[in-house]
Structure 1
Amino acid sequence: MPPITNIAAYLFVSLDDLPDLRERILARTLALDLKGTVLLAPEGINAFLAGGQDDIEAFLGWLRADARFAPLQAKYSYSDAVPFRRTRVRIKREIIRMNHPAIRPEAGRAPAVDASTLARWLEQGLDDEGREVVMLDTRNGFEVDAGTFTDAIDWRLSKFSEFPAAVRTHRAELAGKTVVSFCTGGIRCEKAAIFMAEEGLTHVYQLEGGILKYFEETGGPGFEGSCFVFDEREALGTDLAVPVA
């Protein structure tokens, strides 16, 4: 196994002590020599960190000791070098910007489909109730260009805050189908699925854990190309390794 452990982890949870929390998380990541980015907002935490495996696990254990973060789950990948140059802990208005503050995943998630179930649906072309399954890529266009699910819907978004308007424009095309929203690690499709349900689409799911968890649990059937990631690796193949040029 390569020596560097990389994690992507997020959790929607109410936070009201952001400046103090920022300082404590920064101190802990620096003490463990972890590099990457942690975003904090009133709606939760979003983290991308890399370092030695023991140090990563020590950080996760420390974070989960705070009851608010106990449910946090991480997606893992491995690399020969740390793909970040520094450590940043930043306070933001949203951990993923949608500009719809009424969308609060902490208050109730949209239904989720796990990786193995989705792989089966894609193989048979239908969900378990016989409805057509369509994959909806909630990522930006340049991310989609690196790779996506076969025949996935791509609205050529330039930023996630464009997603609500795109749904309203294309809502009729999705009606009556089972729509599975997906993104890199799950955070965008959390909000996307809730928004679509509030817009009246009745068979909407989010891909649990996003593309990275799908790769981890299934090996990526039905996915073409690589998954863009926001670090120096740039993209990961279905084996969660950097593709060989």
Structure 2
Amino acid sequence: MQNAPILNISAYLFVGLPDCHALRERLHELALRLELKGTVLLAEEGINLFLAGPAEAVRSWVAALHEDTRFAPLNPKESWSETVPFKKLLVKVKPEIIRMNHPTIRPDQAERAPALPAATLARWLDQGHDDAGRPVVTLDTRNAFEVDYGTFDGAIDWRIHKFSEFPEAVHQHRQELMGKTVVSFCTGGIRCEKAALYLQQQGLDGPVYQLEGGILKYFEETGGPHYHGSCFVFDQREALDAGLHPAIEIERPASEAHRAPQP
């Protein structure tokens, strides 16, 4: 759908932003001027964004963001649509860009957990083990209603309803992760980055990875083997298939009635 007129981007970056309030004013003014819609969340721990508009306008906003060297590593994921899938523009400062309610987990102040490339995960799932011969489990860190749209075959799903429940779920289910290579995953990477750091602190006896770029990057780079269903996205497209196209005529899960407004 690269010929569609609207470019959608999503990205996040854990980076120290002590000036997030002032930054919010600059980014909001620029997005308004470019007539973009979507959501930009800022916190002292980083940025999380979902924006849409004509390609030239979206890329102008990203180019301006990259003028701040702190955002140099930020590499938005792109998809295309016929219309803008957001009703308005929202640029907000929040305590966390993804709420875990666990103040010791600060990816902007810590070394990242190892990030597993999409192609490597696909190969491991093909062969049934990692390169050291250890069994591999995929751990879905998303909310239950999102999982109901689609997930990896055999993924661990603890039926959490908000990400702040994840630490307690780890304590309840820690034993099922022992002796395995754990790959945490989510929509675009932000939740599984915090989740992987938390898991590393829990004394598991095997490696812990985060899926680099989440499900959407996995779709983009592999076409989605070992994944069934679609991937819920927090905009009016609702869900994307493995080709990153809106999933047409999807059957809405029963749990959709409990859908939260944000990841």
Give the TM-score taking structure 1 as reference length.
Answer: 0.98
User: Given the alignment, which residue of 108, 111, 124 partners 1:108?
Assistant: 111
1:54 Cα deviation after fit: 1.3
Deviation readout 1:177-234 (Å, 9 max, x if unpaired): 0110000000000000000010112311000000000011111111100000000001
Larger CA deviation: 36-45 vs 52-61: 52-61
* Structure 2 partner of 1:210: 214
Q: Which SS does the other structure have where 2:21 is aligned?
A: helix
* Structure 2 partner of 1:36: 38
Structure-2 separation of matches of 1:244 and 1:88: 27
Deviation readout 1:65-124 (Å, 9 max, x if unpaired): 101111111111111100001100011000000011111112210011001111101111
Q: Which runs of 5+ in 2 are unaligned?
A: 250-263
* Structure 1 partner of 2:229: 225
* Structure 1 partner of 2:13: 11
* Structure 2 partner of 1:191: 194
Q: Tell me the number of residue pairs that the alignment of Structure 1 and Structure 2 aligns.
A: 245
Q: Which runs of 5+ in 1 are unaligned?
A: none
* Structure 1 partner of 2:149: 146
Larger CA deviation: 52-61 vs 231-240: 52-61
Structure-2 separation of matches of 1:13 and 1:178: 27
Residue type at the aligned position of 2:34: L
* Structure 2 partner of 1:170: 173
Structure-1 separation of matches of 2:128 and 2:79: 29
Structure-2 separation of matches of 1:126 and 1:36: 39
* Structure 2 partner of 1:131: 134
Deviation readout 1:31-67 (Å, 9 max, x if unpaired): 1111000000110000000011111111111101101
Structure-2 separation of matches of 1:61 and 1:86: 22
User: Given the alignment, which residue of 55, 58, 61 partners 2:60?
Assistant: 58
Residue type at the aligned position of 1:227: C
Q: Which SS does the other structure have where 1:73 is aligned?
A: coil
Residue type at the aligned position of 1:87: L
Percent identical pairs in the alignment equals: 64
1:17 Cα deviation after fit: 1.3
1:237 equivalent in alignment to 2:241: yes
1:244 Cα deviation after fit: 2.1
Q: Which SS does the other structure have where 2:92 is aligned?
A: strand
CA RMSD of aligned residues (A): 0.7
Structure-2 separation of matches of 1:165 and 1:147: 23
Kept in 2, the 8 Å contact 1:176–1:203? The answer is: no
Q: Which SS does the other structure have where 2:195 is aligned?
A: helix
Structure-1 separation of matches of 2:202 and 2:171: 8
Residue type at the aligned position of 1:230: F
**Which of structure 1's runs of 4+ aligned residues deviate more than 3 A?**
none
Structure-2 separation of matches of 1:119 and 1:89: 36
Residue type at the aligned position of 2:62: L
Give the TM-score taking structure 2 as reference length.
Answer: 0.92
